[in-house]
Amino acid sequence: MRIDKWLWAARFFKTRGLARAAVEAGAVLVGGERVKPARELRPGDELSVRSADRDAAMLRVVRVVALSDRRGPAAEAQALYDETQESIARRVAEIARRREAPEPAHSIRGRPTKRERRDLDRWSGGE
């Protein structure tokens, strides 16, 4: 079965087109090597999957357990792969780090007001 179709069925990506684009961009590796979207996937293959909205620390390393060309419920999708213990530990640590020190830019909503823009200009050294 095609790797892009399996990634979609395993719910790593919302659409098959996004899965194909990720494989082409090199965000999905099979055995540490870049592959094409039409690459045939077999049970036992080890994948490294990095989604577009996640950084390198959120890389998931999974082993293919079963194949399915049907996108079913989440419980069925999770039965298609086993995530490595190192990958789980790295994801949990990254989530904890993000909770402790959230990104300051995430608290900014919308355009700055005129007053906020002037303060930003003064702070950055511009006038």
Over residues 8-33, the pLDDT tens digits come to 999 999 999 999 999 999 999 999 99
* Distance from C-alpha of 5 to C-alpha of 10, rounded to nearest angstrom: 9
Biggest CA–CA distance in the chain, Å, is 61
Composition of the chain by helix, strand, coil, percent to 5: 45, 15, 40
Q: What does pTM read for this prediction?
A: 0.75
What's the rounded mean pLDDT across residues 102-123?
Answer: 84
| Domains recognised in the chain with CATH numbers | 3-105 (3.10.290.10)
Rounded mean pLDDT of the chain? Answer: 88
Contact 75, 42 (CB under 8 A): no
What's the rounded mean pLDDT across residues 100-108?
Answer: 78
pLDDT tens-digit series, residues 38-59: 999 999 999 999 876 555 557 8
* Distance from C-alpha of 10 to C-alpha of 58, rounded to nearest angstrom: 17
